[in-house]
Amino acid sequence: MGKHVLVIEDEPNIIEAISFILSRDGWTVDTHSNGHDAVSVVRAKSPDLVILDVMLPGKSGYDILTELRQDAATQNLPVLMLTARGQSKDRELAEKIGASRFMTKPFSNAEVLEALHELVPQ
Amino acid sequence: MGALNILVAVCLTYVALLFLVAFMAERAALRGRATWLRSPLVYTLSLSIYCTAWTFYGAVGNAARSGLEFLTIYIGPTLVMIGWWWGLRKLVRVGRTQRITSIADLISSRYGKSPLLAVFVTLIAVIGTTPYIALQLQSVTLSFASFAKVDPQAMQFADSEATALWVAGGLAVFTILFGTRNLDANERHHGVVMAIAVEAVVKLCALVAVGVFVVWGLGGGVSETLARIDASDIGTWQVDNGRWVAMTMLSAAAFLTLPRMFQVLVVENEDERHLRTASWAFPTYLMIMSLFVVPIAVVGLDIMPEGANPDQFVLTVPLSQGQQGLAMLSFLGGFSSATSMVIVAAIALSTMVSNHIVMPIWLRIAQGGAVISGDVRHVVLLARRLSIGGVLALGYLYYRFSGGGAALTSIGLISFSGVAQFLPALMGAIFWRGSNHTGAVAGLLIGFLIWVYSMLLPSFGPGVFLSAEVLEHGLWGLSWLKPQALFGIEGIDPVVHTVLWSMSLNAGAFVLFSIISFPQPLERLQGAQFVNVFQHSGNPQGWSGGVAQAEDLMVMAQRILGPVETQTLFQKAALEQGLVGFLPEPTPDFLQRLERELAGSVGAATAHAMVSQIMGRATVSVEDLLAVADETAQMMEYSSQLEAKSAELSRTARQLRAANEKLTKLSVQKDAFLSQISHELRTPMTSIRSFSEILRDTEELSPADLEKYADIIHQEAIRLTRLLDDLLDLSVLENGQVNLNIRQGVLQDLITHAIASTGAESSGLNIHRSGISTDILMETDLDRLAQVFINLIANAQKYCDADQPELTIQVTERDNYLIVDFIDNGSGIPAQAQDMVFEKFSRVSDRQAGGAGLGLAICREIMARLGGSIAYLPGQGGAAFRVSLPIKMKMAAQ
């Protein structure tokens, strides 16, 4: 089995696309589609990496990341943030909170895979 | 050379001496070396003009006729001087601070500077004083006659009328010479005062000399004389209580209100501290004057032949004993008493007459000429001189017409009762702020009328002014109008009768009318000035304690200039004066500077009034107060303009703030909108890009996956297109650039079409239609309205979370509005989100439903363009929307 990735995203088509790409690249993919319980799901599944959308129903990606960084268990967990709001202040905010990488949608599949390999050496 | 010739010679010498004294005093006063003129002794002696020929001769006559009653004339003023000196002090202070020239001036000035009151008081004073002047002429004439009787060679002098005329003329000349020499602002006459002081000494000496002669020369010593008194009628004389009290009160009142007494007491007063000396010295003088009255009367009655006039005993007793020298001195005493009274009375009256009657009339007649100030001065002097002549002429005429026969005492009482009418108004003036002009006029008028009717007119005897008929039976035969028994009260003493009625009704009317009428503003100001004269005028002995005043000034200045500026100002001034600390000496320089500083803030008049008030240097005059009021009015005007301006500014500021807030809000909205659009566009593009890369890069893709992914790309492309369509649509609607396509159609058909185009019924949403079943024909943009309906039905289809979703479409008509409600049976929209549902990109639920959140915003814009509205209907169970349109429709033909 490859490394374990958790995709937190509410747009079904995007989940489908990311899941397909990562599976093809050899990752074990888990998905979750709302913000309410995202933090506890991360703790429960303890993935090697999290792909986190910003605009989620229930709780924003920023809030989820902030909580993860306060918790010792997930303090250093690699998190790739994705957002459809591509303004520079969004990127600054994400980096400040502690996102490992920040990518705006639409992304190229190759870029995502490359970023994942950098964050989690195979 | 007969006794009468010697008498005339002595008289002329005496008069020449008086001229000299008056002249010297005037000279000394002009040179400013008049300190001895300003002694309390001179003031006290000048008060002795109260003792006229009436008291000099008449007291003995009165004692011979009525026993000890003559004492009341002395007791009244004594009570005033001893028991009421503080009241006198107030009167004197008011007189000085208000620059009062006469009693008429005081009363009119206090009651609103009323010319009417001034004229009225002047007339009463003239009428009331005229009998008194006649009295003096009569006494001088009588005393001449007494001399003439013992000098048969000189019978030609016995013509009493000619004597009276000579005396009146001589007095007029003397008074004019010394009473109108100058026009001091304070109306003081040093020469005259000095002359009457000398006369006061002469009359005292004369009476005492006669008394000593009578007691030791004729009576045989003190104990012998006392025994004679006990044996006489006077010893058994009984006190008439009513008359005793009335006479005492009357003389006390007259002491204050007689124009000549007011003149010497108030106007001629140099220093109110003199009152302290006078309060004991003057009663002492009166006591000495009264000491020998009874012995002279008793001895006179004993030794003089039956029928001799007791009013002349002071003169005739020495004459009968051949004591020519003593008789001469006695004559000079009586002459002094008469002349001093006449001179001062004439000065006082002429001041009133010229100031309040002649000058106003002259100024009115010669309005143009009044501008030349030199002329006015000349005219004032002329008016004074003519008035003096007029007053003495009146006195002479009264003497002629009253027949010269009445007893001296009764003529004196007529005068006393007349001027006593001023008392209520005078007391009210300085003690009662509530008293006013109306009250003063009413009281004076009623008191004056009663006095004239019940005392003055009857005094001429029946047939002169009042017929015997009126005296006996009353005016018009009305018994209650009998002059000496008013209102049916009979049998009391005529003097008591007049005093009782005139004073009580006068005071009553004064109080009553003061209470029921309202004072003018000027009267209120003057009232405060008079009644609170001690608070207003400060310390008359000069001001000391500069530090305390500097502190007061500082406290006041801080309130106006502010603490920092005030301290800087004061400290700088103190430094310049070489003082340490904050408080400078209140030098004139500093006060002037402070006043200027204050004036910048509160106006010059107010600043002056404030500084004066604290320094106690001058009273705040009515003019000052009026100037303050003017300034205040101007400031209020200015401040109301400022207020209006500031209201305008704050209104503008509010508008600007509102505009700014709106712009800020719009800017935030624009940012949020762009951010939203970016998100809504990027999301489908992400899928499209990702899947197209998958299709491109993946070699072994199953046909099912291939088809699925191509389908997703297709869907998302459509979604993008729809989003762009919506955005453009909304933009057009919001900018108002939309072209409405107005057509006629039937509402029910439109709803049916909308349901069909959503395909809702086939997707499981159960739709009920209720309400008006007849076809409603309407005229509007049917496509746009259908777009709203479709949106609402589609929303129900997407968001209704019931197990068996249902939508009720209900048509009603109310208040000229056509209402279409869309109510589903889901859980509805949370209350806090209800306000938001019509905003762009507001999505209540998850985005799985796929809308961009523009639908309801578009609906709202469409309904606004169609002239209707769309609103969320709370409390319907599920989500409920109400579409209303004004009725521009008609029922379709059945």
| Domains of chain B: residue spans and CATH | 3-28+37-408 (1.20.1730.10), 543-620 (no CATH), 630-727 (1.10.287.130), 740-891 (3.30.565.10)
pLDDT at B596: 76
List the one residue out of B146, B133, B8 whose CA is nearest residue B400. Answer: B133
Residue B542: in which H helix or E strand, if any? none
- Of the ranges B318-322, B461-465, B615-619, B787-791, which one carries the lowest mean pLDDT score? B615-619
pLDDT above 60: residue B184: no
pLDDT at B376: 61
SS3 B809: strand
Of A21, A86, A107, nearest to B694 by CB-CB distance is: A21
Between B155 and A122, the more confident residue is: A122
- Across the interface, do B688 and A21 touch by the CB < 8 Å criterion? no
pLDDT at B1: 42
**At B153, is the pLDDT very low, low, confident or very high (cuts 50, 70, 90)?**
low
- For residue A83, the cross-strand partners are A104
A and B: number of Cβ contacts within 8 A: 68
pLDDT (mean) for B174-190: 65
**At B621, is the pLDDT very low, low, confident or very high (cuts 50, 70, 90)?**
low
Between B639 and B374, the more confident residue is: B639
pLDDT above 90: residue A64: yes
Distance (Å) of CA B626 to CA B110, B509, B606, B620:
16, 31, 10, 10
**At B778, is the pLDDT very low, low, confident or very high (cuts 50, 70, 90)?**
confident
pLDDT at A63: 92
CA distance B774 to chain A (A): 45
pLDDT (mean) for B348-368: 75
pLDDT (mean) for B206-221: 81
Dump pLDDT digits (tens) for B531-545.
776 765 443 333 334
Between B596 and A111, the more confident residue is: A111
- The rounded mean pLDDT for chain B is 78
pLDDT at B689: 93
**At B664, is the pLDDT very low, low, confident or very high (cuts 50, 70, 90)?**
confident
pLDDT above 50: residue B784: yes
Task: Walk me through the domains of chain A, giving residue ranges and CATH numbers.
Answer: 4-116 (3.40.50.2300)
- Residues of A within 8 A of B688 (CB-CB) are 106
Between B319 and B758, the more confident residue is: B758
SS3 B867: coil
Cα Rg of chain B (Å, integer):
54
Residue B39: in which H helix or E strand, if any? none
Between A43 and B41, the more confident residue is: A43
Dump pLDDT digits (tens) for B571-611.
888 888 887 777 787 777 788 788 777 777 666 667 777 77
- Across the interface, do B686 and A20 touch by the CB < 8 Å criterion? no
- Across the interface, do B691 and A17 touch by the CB < 8 Å criterion? yes
For chain B, the residue count is 894
**At B685, is the pLDDT very low, low, confident or very high (cuts 50, 70, 90)?**
very high
d(CA B604, CA B600): 7
pLDDT above 90: residue B453: no
pLDDT at B886: 86
pLDDT at B538: 42
| Any A CB within 8 A of B714 CB | no
CA B389 to chain centre: 41
Most confident of B129-143, B705-719, B791-805: B705-719
As a whole-number percent, the residues of chain B with pLDDT over 90 amount to 6
Residue B237: in which H helix or E strand, if any? none
Picking from B668, B682, B688, B709 by the largest number of A CB atoms within 10 A of its own CB, the best residue to mutate is B682
Secondary structure (DSSP) of B776-799: EEEEEEHHHHHHHHHHHHHHHHHH
- Across the interface, do B690 and A14 touch by the CB < 8 Å criterion? yes
